[in-house]
Structure 1
Amino acid sequence: MRKFLVIVESPAKAKTINKYLGNNYIVKSSFGHVRDLPSNSLFIKNQKDHRILKKNVDKLDKKNALIHRIGIDPYHGWIAKYEILPGKEKIIDELSMLAKNSDHVYLATDLDREGEAIAWHLQEVIQVDRKKISRVIFNEITCDAIMHSFKHPTVLNIGKVHAQQARRFMDRLVGYMLSPLLWKKIARGLSAGRVQSVAVRLVVERERRIRNFISKEYWKLYIDLIGSIGNELRFQVVRNGKSRFIPTTETELKQAKNILLQTDSYVISNRVDKFLFVRAHPPFVTSTLQQSASVHLGYSIKKTMLLAQRLYEAGYITYMRTDSTNVSKSALSMVRSYIYDVFGQEYLSKKNNEYNFTSCVQGAHEAIRPSNVCFSSESIKDKNSDLKKLYHLIRCQFIASQMSSSKDIITTLSMKIGDFTLQFSHRICFFDGWKKIMSKIGNQSDQKEKNKFPDFKIGEVLKFKRIVATQHFTKAPVRYNEASLVKELEKRGIGRPSTYVSIISTIQDRGYVCLYHAHFYAMKIGEIVTDRLSENFYELMDYQFTANMEGVLDKIADNQTEWKIVLDDFFIRFSEQLSVAEKDFEDGGMRQNSMIMTSIVCSLCGKNMGIRVAVTGVFLSCEGYKNIVSLKSRCKNTINLVPEMLQNSIPRSNHFKCEKCNSVMDSYFIDSCRKLHVCVNNPLCAGYNIENGEFGIQKISDFCVVQCDKCMYDMYVKFGRFGKYMLCSNLDCKNTMKISSNDCVVPKKSLVLPLPELICEKSNAYFVLRDGKAGIFLAANTFPKSRETRAPFVEELVRFRDRLPKKLSYLADAPIYDIYGNKTLVRFDRKSKQQYVVSMKDGKCTSWKSFFINGCWKIKSDK
């Protein structure tokens, strides 16, 4: 019997495919990428290794040092030094052995560029004859699609591989060449990205529009009139002569009121009835799925894509990374038959609804749709309700896309009083069409009136009841949320379906933006980095350049452009801009992120403190850190500043104005008695203001103090790149704890204390001491391979007393034996939530117990 090896990138996908193939097929997973470029020595967290590796790199000339750091040689044909990812050696060995013993190998990774790159890397490392390797592509994991793809195998699309490499190399060049410059000029720990930096610019520009927005007053004027049968209608004054009527002052409003009240006759002069046909929306692509799931289900885009990945790998939907609205003929036939059978002829569109999606670059792909439209969400075996809700959304959207348009009747009544025009509009749902199925999605509902509108006729006289004026104010632009930011990126042609999640995640991880109450706020360090990059790398930060580069990558994938030429052109221009930016500011280089000195005095050394901006946020730093004779005399005192912007306690309109440049100021809490107002143009403007008083902080965790679980020192709130967190005041400890979105301190994960001296009885593994919800216990270090667990004996805790954290050291003082000489072990009382000691004889617990009460162990015996 012939044997065939099928390699996919996901174990869940392998499990689903295995159901459709015969026994002569072996389906294995590569667990994602198997090779990548080497990690950069400059970004190693271990300071000792960092110094050693950086010293070795510094010995090389500039070109070789760059090649060493990025793992690519841009000077000699873009030769890349790929390395096997850590932990993938066994997987590659197994795949290579299976490939050699198989008659043929099929690479069945995803159909996008990343999937093609994974297939190419697998082809390079499994080391078998290329004639034995084929590529299979399928848009959905169903029996028909799988069998069709294996009957018509193809070869690797090297154009897609080159496009993926071009993107990867370009992003690596920007990140690894630009980041050291940001470290030198602005702050340590910063990084830049070709696409992510442009996304940060969008958030920063929106933040500044909100900050500089000046609200303006305007009014709306209504007249309530009554018909002959008692119907009350509210007419709005919409025009004054030929111009729109939008009064901005009360004086203008009073003049209009006086004119309108002078007449005694309110006669309908015109009536217009028209049908409004609303066509169904197209089936989902990646971006619209992310937006709809955010609006209707409240899912983050990361959660949406993880759920969609599970649905795809289980065979429920088609491939979820696409920007095409195309649908196969068989799928169209399937959904139209379903609509006819379930909803009837009137709900089926007369002809196939076809959609043109403006950003579509992958016309051969399909939209996101269910593999079988007759399969409802209730039929999904997975118990995850979120998974079912997302599938229901995808299914309903696909069905609705081929349903007939909805039909509304809009009736508009108007009348003239002098130069003023009054208007009333009423909308009635005449035929719901595609809305019949979409009204059941999430929080979406059909709220249109379905009652018949009274038959008002031209010339009918209405009675006056009252005149109503409502005051309004223009509103600032709304901050981006995840869905709207993806929509803006898509609109500008920035990024692709497979990159939206990584873009959103990266700009948060770098500390440039903060997601607070589901909206993005630009952090100060994000504004500074955006300004510096815009000044010195205008092409890199240009929206159009980034969008055009996506188009160039698409041409590379279609074998229309040589990828190395594109990289050469980019590298030459970028290197020239980088060499200029590295110079001093006086010579055209990048501006420094200077510290702005204040009158606040350091509590440790008496020197003044200055305002500094780093990746962890805005803080006060002692002047004595740099004004030193020796390193030992440095003053490392800092004061954390909590942004008032994230407290929402005071509207921005009430903020201070900078005395130097008249710009608005950002406010920060120093403590509960002092607030620091800093000019938004910092560090270019040195303006600041200190406000004293007692500030009612809404959130107790902003200044709360908790004890460190490691050293028992006090922990204080800090604000970092990932938001608020607790930091231990002991500089030697550096322990941290998370703060949740509802301002509660999140307990640390279970203690994991390795004890290699304690060997397990059932395996060759050793025990580790863990601290869970049910107290401390010993577990095998190879879990879940070995699931051996047991309670620790007190004598074992005494043996490892020096390794125990302080909060558990009292357990090592417990009695080792009971009064009869039996060994004691530690147990947990679920009611009192405390540890106690019990003795054991012949494998069973005795009635002897000891509890830790008032700082000492007391013995209690059950009678």
Structure 2
Amino acid sequence: MQKSLVIVESPAKAKTINKYLGQKYIVKSSIGHIRDLFNSKYKNKKNLKKPIKKIKNTILQSDKKNIFFKTMGINPYQNWKAEYYILPGKEKIISELKNIAKKVDHIYLATDLDREGEAIAWHLKEVIGGDSSKFSRVIFNEITKHAIENAFKNKGQINMHRVQAQQARRFMDRIVGYMISPLLWRKISRGLSAGRVQSVAVRIITERENIIKNFIPEEYWKLNVTLFSKDKEEITMEVTHDSDKKVFLKNKKEVDSVIKKIKTSSCIVENYEKKTLYKVAPAPFITSTLQQYANFYLSFSVKKTMFLAQKLYEEGYITYMRTDSIYLSKHAIKKAREYIKNTYGNDYLPEEPNIYSNHKNSQEAHEAIRPSNVKIKNIDSDELTIDAKKLYILIWNQFIASQMKPVIYESITLTASIDRFKLKKKKKIIIFNGWNKILKEEKNIIFQTSAINIGSILLIDKINCYQFFTKPKPRFNEGSLVRELEKKGIGRPSTYASITSKIQEKGYVKIKQNKFYAEKMGEILTIRLKKSFSNLIDYNFTARMEKTLDKIAENKIIWKNVLDSFFKDFSRQLEKAKKKPEEGGMEPNTIVPTSLNCPICSKKMGIKNATTGVFLSCLGYYPRSKKSCKKTINLIPLSDFDINNINIEKDLSLNKCNICNMIMDTYFINKNLKLHICVNNPSCLGYKVEKGIFQSPDYLSKIIKCEKCHDDMIFKIGPFGKFFTCTNNTCKNTRKILPNGKISDPKLEPIPFPELLCKKSNAWFVLREGVSGIFFAANTFPKSRETRSPFIEELVRFQHLLPEKIHYLSSGPVIDNNGNKTIVCFNKKNQQHYIASKKEGKFTGWSAIFINKKWHIIDK
């Protein structure tokens, strides 16, 4: 009997699909993409052609272009000819797929239903080769028996227009990344790169950063008057208007003037209004709203949310997670309505289903993100983590709530007047909780109050005034950044996670307390790109390009024509940017000299910007000279600290640049020196040195002793943050600085446990300490890379070997309440060890933490 081959992207998806397909099908996974455009970092891999090693000086300019574009994998001058290569490590997978493909009757490409999935299906078909009629494309929005059977009944072919849209996006991103990076390295700093969409995201954050930096708080006051009705009911009202103008009290003097007039006048009720308001149920999740809600309610990063959603989809619990459509199938709505009726009753079920309209730019005819089976409210599976289960509950709640009746409010507005001033009191109370029954579990509230007649007099009891200061727009978090990108039409569901993660990885922005902060290099890059490549980070241009890609997918325009137009404009701007600044080229990232002397050679120090941050560098440094001075001094941004614990100057003129009158960024050099640098640095040479005694973290000028060689350790800043490093070049010991500002404890010296043997080799274990706490590793590392967590029973047995730092772990529970063995775990957030138990390799949910010299059990 002939069989058919079904190819999906992930092993988990293959495993789930396998449950629903019969013996006629062989389900295999490609494990993501199998090939990509040529990449120079793969040049030494066996599966790639040898790159050209030398280029003769006599080579023609056209040939040089061909050689350059050969390293890029695409050639705009040869009708966008592309060179694809098998990704390293995928040779074995492809070989297996080819062998199976020869033996089967038919091949089904069941990759994801977005453009990326369509492109993977096309690449698989191209690599496997053979008769085209042997291949079919099947897509399903959820991994359920019903959806899969329906997909195989309605098999189709690869949609090449969607593949071309994906290729167009990929080609443009490759052009920008490969062609602009050498310019940025030469003009600004090594290691920089630009992205067609990522650079726009950085611009959004840096522009918000500038708004916050330049914001000057304005004082304002509010007045509340507490009154009594004739029935002695207490009512607090706010003074809102002076005649017909809205009240804005700027200072205490104006407040006192209003209070004086109010005290001598009577308060008369002008209006008492009741309204019934309906708040309709929220739409089910799409990719962007899921990311926003998960960030707000669960504190998940966008990347983590998509990783967990992918797992839920592959295990068959939710529909496809990359979608911008809020459409729901009739089958899904029917099941939701049945659940609502049976669980909550007809009071919560609308007469007709709630239907939601898609956004006009919604690109795919997918469903919204919803549970595959509404009967599963809580997942009972060891295959998924606790966080994945939390995300599922969030999705389930939103979907069920979307099909429930509105929340009904009663809105009461009371208006009164004193002299020429108007007072208002607003109250909104829930009288039917509707869909809030699911999302907030609020109880129905019956509002009872005595009616207040119009024209009645209220007696003044007391007047309270409150001082406030205006605040700037808040910083973006990952959720609100995704919302802003979506609002501006930038990016698509499949790109949000990569956008938010890449801009952090590149060091252009950082996240602190779940908020985005623009780094100096991100600001410089944005300014330079905005001037030299206006289209590249223009909001409207980027949004229009997204719509253009949609038109390619819909076969409304030719993809290569779009690429030609983009490349022509980009090349023109690139050539201009290469020129000298006086000729209109990109401005370089120059070092700004200061009056500070180098402590080594006494030459002047200069302000330098790099991907690692802002620092002082000796002007006596010459890159090609071994004898030149290499002294650098760290500059610590004031924004790195809790501003409530730092004395910040109230005199704003101190932080204004003398040259361009812009605000200045403040940095600590040490406890006695601050450096104020113009935000326009390095374009502006303005800076100020401030001397004094400043409240700053102890580690700023602290020198500690190395626990290994006993030499001094000094403070440094590197690509991965702040740390202390040993001054002894042969020692290389480091100790990082924790988020709370404390210096981490010295790492444990490796402790041999020769009695504990490895399972995968003849080695024995050594107890080591890493970024994830203590662990056992083979003594023959790196020959054997076997590692595992220590069992508590092992620490009890060998507690005489444990140093004082971790000796408390040997006093922990050896087994949990059900007799499962316990192991040592580590919480990266608070940098503390704890104990957990496992059963058959899966965490049970039982754990214990050490607080106040005592173990506390947490059993979920």
Stretch deviating more after TM superposition (407-416 or 453-462): 453-462
AA in 1 matched with 2:108? Y
C-alpha displacement of 1:736: 6.3
In structure 1, the partner of 2:136 is: 134
* Distance in 2 separating the partners of 1:515 and 1:58: 47
In structure 1, the partner of 2:567 is: 571
Stretch deviating more after TM superposition (247-256 or 318-327): 247-256
Map 1:392-431 to 2 at 5 A.
392-431=393-432
AA in 2 matched with 1:220? K
Map 1:363-762 to 2 at 5 A.
363-382=364-383, 384-440=385-441, 446=442, 450-626=446-622, 631-647=625-641, 648=643, 649-651=646-648, 656-698=655-697, 700=699, 705=704, 707=706, 715-727=713-725, 729=727, 739-743=737-741
C-alpha displacement of 1:632: 2.1
* Distance in 2 separating the partners of 1:68 and 1:230: 86
Check conservation: 1:116, 1:160, Cα contact below 8 A: yes
Check conservation: 1:4, 1:104, Cα contact below 8 A: yes
C-alpha displacement of 1:211: 0.8
Stretch deviating more after TM superposition (108-117 or 223-232): 223-232
AA in 2 matched with 1:16? T
* Distance in 2 separating the partners of 1:586 and 1:601: 31
AA in 1 matched with 2:561? I
AA in 2 matched with 1:327? L
Cα separation, partners in 2 of 1:44 and 1:88, compared to 1, 3 Å: closer
C-alpha displacement of 1:354: 1.6
* Distance in 1 separating the partners of 2:57 and 2:716: 35
**What percentage of aligned pairs have identical amino acids?**
48
AA in 2 matched with 1:269? E
Map 1:725-804 to 2 at 5 A.
725-727=723-725, 729=727, 739-743=737-741, 771=768, 773=774, 777-778=778-779
* Distance in 1 separating the partners of 2:718 and 2:344: 54
SS where residue 362 of structure 1 aligns? coil
C-alpha displacement of 1:244: 0.9
In structure 2, the partner of 1:842 is: none
SS where residue 152 of structure 2 aligns? helix
* Distance in 2 separating the partners of 1:278 and 1:705: 60
Cα separation, partners in 2 of 1:714 and 1:578, compared to 1, 3 Å: farther
Cα separation, partners in 2 of 1:406 and 1:421, compared to 1, 3 Å: same
Q: TM-score, normalised by structure 2?
A: 0.84
Check conservation: 2:672, 2:691, Cα contact below 8 A: yes
AA in 2 matched with 1:677? H
* Distance in 1 separating the partners of 2:699 and 2:153: 65
* Distance in 1 separating the partners of 2:689 and 2:333: 66
C-alpha displacement of 1:531: 0.6
Counterpart selection for 1:92 from 81, 91, 94: 94
C-alpha displacement of 1:59: 8.2
* Distance in 2 separating the partners of 1:472 and 1:781: 61
C-alpha displacement of 1:283: 0.2
Which digits, 9 at most, give the CA deviation of each residue in 1:288-344, with x for residues without a partner?
Answer: 011111111121111111111111111000001100000011001111111111111
AA in 2 matched with 1:243? K
Check conservation: 2:579, 2:586, Cα contact below 8 A: yes
AA in 1 matched with 2:801? D
Check conservation: 1:326, 1:363, Cα contact below 8 A: no
SS where residue 405 of structure 2 aligns? coil
* Distance in 1 separating the partners of 2:788 and 2:336: 53
In structure 2, the partner of 1:230 is: 232
* Distance in 2 separating the partners of 1:519 and 1:134: 46
AA in 2 matched with 1:829? L
Cα separation, partners in 2 of 1:249 and 1:766, compared to 1, 3 Å: closer
* Distance in 2 separating the partners of 1:472 and 1:133: 68
SS where residue 12 of structure 1 aligns? helix
Check conservation: 2:776, 2:789, Cα contact below 8 A: no
SS where residue 305 of structure 1 aligns? helix
* Distance in 2 separating the partners of 1:325 and 1:481: 24
* Pair 1:307 & 2:308 matched: yes
Map 1:107-122 to 2 at 5 A.
107-122=109-124
* Distance in 1 separating the partners of 2:705 and 2:360: 51
AA in 2 matched with 1:407? I
AA in 1 matched with 2:245? S
* Distance in 1 separating the partners of 2:43 and 2:680: 33
In structure 2, the partner of 1:66 is: 68
In structure 1, the partner of 2:330 is: 329
Which digits, 9 at most, give the CA deviation of each residue in 1:763-790, with x for residues without a partner?
Answer: 8999998846366643686878x89999
Check conservation: 2:475, 2:516, Cα contact below 8 A: yes
Cα separation, partners in 2 of 1:466 and 1:771, compared to 1, 3 Å: closer
Stretch deviating more after TM superposition (643-652 or 571-580): 643-652
C-alpha displacement of 1:121: 1.1
In structure 1, the partner of 2:20 is: 20
Counterpart selection for 1:75 from 70, 74, 77: 77
Check conservation: 2:361, 2:547, Cα contact below 8 A: no
In structure 1, the partner of 2:200 is: 198
Which digits, 9 at most, give the CA deviation of each residue in 1:541-592, with x for residues without a partner?
Answer: 1100000000001111111111111000000110011101100011111111
C-alpha displacement of 1:346: 1.9
C-alpha displacement of 1:94: 0.9
* Distance in 1 separating the partners of 2:716 and 2:707: 14
AA in 1 matched with 2:599? S
SS where residue 20 of structure 1 aligns? coil
AA in 2 matched with 1:643? P
C-alpha displacement of 1:407: 0.7
Which digits, 9 at most, give the CA deviation of each residue in 1:161-192, with x for residues without a partner?
Answer: 11111111101111111111111111111111
SS where residue 163 of structure 1 aligns? helix
Q: TM-score, normalised by structure 1?
A: 0.84
SS where residue 624 of structure 1 aligns? coil
AA in 1 matched with 2:656? K
AA in 2 matched with 1:421? K
Check conservation: 1:134, 1:156, Cα contact below 8 A: yes
* Distance in 2 separating the partners of 1:597 and 1:696: 27
Stretch deviating more after TM superposition (586-595 or 680-689): 680-689
Which digits, 9 at most, give the CA deviation of each residue in 1:613-646, with x for residues without a partner?
Answer: 01111011111113x8x62222222112111111
In structure 2, the partner of 1:165 is: 167
C-alpha displacement of 1:511: 1.1
Which digits, 9 at most, give the CA deviation of each residue in 1:782-836, with x for residues without a partner?
Answer: 878x89999xxxxxxxxxxxxxxxxxxxxxxxxxxxxxxxxxxx9981365799x
* Distance in 1 separating the partners of 2:783 and 2:93: 19
In structure 2, the partner of 1:285 is: 286
In structure 1, the partner of 2:7 is: 7
AA in 1 matched with 2:634? N
Which digits, 9 at most, give the CA deviation of each residue in 1:817-860, with x for residues without a partner?
Answer: xxxxxxxxx9981365799xxxxxxxxxxxxxxxxxxxxxxxxx
In structure 1, the partner of 2:854 is: none
In structure 2, the partner of 1:860 is: none
AA in 2 matched with 1:157? N
* Distance in 1 separating the partners of 2:245 and 2:788: 82
Cα separation, partners in 2 of 1:739 and 1:218, compared to 1, 3 Å: same
Check conservation: 2:699, 2:715, Cα contact below 8 A: no
Bigger-Rg structure (1/2)? 1
Which digits, 9 at most, give the CA deviation of each residue in 1:720-766, with x for residues without a partner?
Answer: 455434555466887766554344667899999xxxxxxx9998999
List gaps (5 residues or longer) in structure 2: 45-50, 751-756, 791-797, 808-860
C-alpha displacement of 1:596: 0.6
Which digits, 9 at most, give the CA deviation of each residue in 1:416-468, with x for residues without a partner?
Answer: 2232211112222111111111105xxxxx49965423322223332210112
* Distance in 2 separating the partners of 1:187 and 1:53: 27
Check conservation: 1:672, 1:695, Cα contact below 8 A: yes
In structure 2, the partner of 1:208 is: 210
* Distance in 2 separating the partners of 1:114 and 1:346: 44
In structure 1, the partner of 2:145 is: 143
